[in-house]
Amino acid sequence: MSYQHKELAGGRWNQLPFLEQMANIGSEVERALNWQAKNNLLYCRKAAERALELMDLTLGGIKNFARLKELARAREAMVDYFFGVNQYRSTEGAWRKYFSCFTYAARKNQ
């Protein structure tokens, strides 16, 4: 598999705390949403793909079943939102709110 985040995929990602991982995923989701709002679908897609890549790296390192389950469901909903027909009826605001909690918590813990 070809990673866009090569250094992180090399093992550095799993050294980050879960909150920081989620905050970084949220940054990519924010980028995707911003590009979507500007109607630049190519950049939106690329940012969403990077977010999914980081989600996959996180999923690969999770040992806690509750976190695994939540992130797997979030990934499924994100794929539906950016690449599917949005059958789960996700909104831009819901995605921003979901990931802003992780960003806030990660900053508070530093």
When divided into structural domains, the chain yields a total of 1
The tens digit of pLDDT for each residue in 5-44 reads 556 655 788 889 999 999 999 999 999 999 999 999 999 9
Residues 58 and 102: their CA atoms lie apart, in Å, by 14
The pLDDT value recorded for residue 97 is 97
37 is a domain residue: yes
2 is a domain residue: no
28 is a domain residue: yes
Parent domain of 41: 17-108
The tens digit of pLDDT for each residue in 50-91 reads 999 999 999 988 888 888 999 999 999 999 999 999 999 999
Nearest alpha-carbon partner for 53 in 92, 18, 17, 1: 1
Q: List Cα–Cα distances, 66 to 16, 29, 73, in angstroms.
A: 19, 22, 11
